[in-house]
Amino acid sequence: MAKAKTIFVCNSCGYESPKWLGKCPACNEWNSFYEEKVVKEKDGTFLADKKTRAAKPTSLNSVEGKEAVRISTGIGELDRVLGGGIVKGSLVLLGGEPGIRKIYTDSSNLQ
């Protein structure tokens, strides 16, 4: 029967260790280790838990982004800064000197 075991994997470079490490010896990153359950197979190799391996790394070139519907604020310059307007469900924080007429809005107030 397969035996479950826990290993620690560096989130930065993938270095594996049987115990948690504060600093990765491979890439020198601090606090980058996370716990991963693995199962020992009959041939002695360890396979990661199905849940943790379900998500596979994807090249950025092959990621398809969806074009969000943008709602115009009615202020041309603000729309330009926001990339065409406010995205529904998003929150925009404006900053500036006192008295320069900052506005607050969330997209649920727009049509």
> How many CB atoms are closer than 10 A to CB 60?
5
Terminal Cα-to-Cα distance of the chain (whole angstroms): 60
Choose one: 8-16, 34-42, 57-65, 93-101; the region binding Zn ion (CB under 5 A).
8-16
- Dist. CA 105–CA 93, nearest whole Å: 9
> What Rg do the C-alpha atoms of the chain give, in angstroms?
24
Alpha helices in the chain (DSSP H): 50-53, 76-81
Does position 13 interact with Zn ion (CB under 5 A)? The reply is: yes
Stretches 25-33, 35-43, 63-71, 73-81: which one binds Zn ion (CB under 5 A)?
25-33
- Work out whether 81 is an interface residue with Zn ion (CB under 5 A): no
Please, which residue, 29 or 36, has the CB nearer to Zn ion?
29
The least distance separating Zn ion from the CB of residue 57, rounded to whole angstroms, comes to 15
Catalog residues that contact Zn ion under the rule CB under 5 A: 10, 12-13, 15, 24, 26-27, 29
